[in-house]
Amino acid sequence: MSEDPTWEAPEGSWASSAARRRNMQAIRSRDTKPEKLIRRLVHAQGLRYRVAARPLPDLRRTADMVFRSVKVAVFIDGCYWHGCPEHYVPPRTNSGYWSEKVLRNMERDRDTDQRLKEAGWLVLRFWEHEPSDRCADKIAATVVARRITGRHP
């Protein structure tokens, strides 16, 4: 693969150029700014959790925050990668590949939600653009309520 930024990938390749490929590979899948801020706010409220953990050992998917004792899994979804209805903008280059990728991500998210629900978990999903303090407050309130009421298997 050439380092020339004008290089076009062969048909069927996942990146439209070497520069685009480097760009996409540099995007974090965990420890994003919104995740870190929400985690810090939840931690400040006295709650402890697992980071980037599998809620179910046999499911090869991780949640951004996992509260095992009360079976709450939290996901902070990126607007681009998870198809935010407010902010997702289809790419101009290699649009077929990237649009399919986002669609598969959305399908996997729904499948994950369903599997966790069937296993007795509560799934909380937030978009990266949502106010971090509101997300943290909702997470904390949900976890505390489940601890108090014992509403978890």
What's the pLDDT at 54? 97
28-149 folds as: Endonuclease; Chain A (3.40.960)
pLDDT tens for 80-106 read 989 999 998 888 888 888 899 999 999
- Residue type for 121, please? W
C-alpha 26/C-alpha 51 separation (Å) is 20
pLDDT tens for 46-69 read 999 999 999 999 999 999 999 999
C-alpha 80/C-alpha 87 separation (Å) is 7
| Domain regions of the chain by residue span | 28-149
pLDDT, the chain, mean: 86
* pLDDT-wise least confident of 5-9, 10-14, 90-94, 116-120: 5-9
110 vs 8, higher pLDDT: 110
What's the pLDDT at 6? 42
Q: Structure pTM?
A: 0.81
Other C-beta atoms closer than 10 Å to the C-beta of 136 total 22
Q: Tell me if 42 sits within 8 A of 139, measured CB to CB.
A: yes
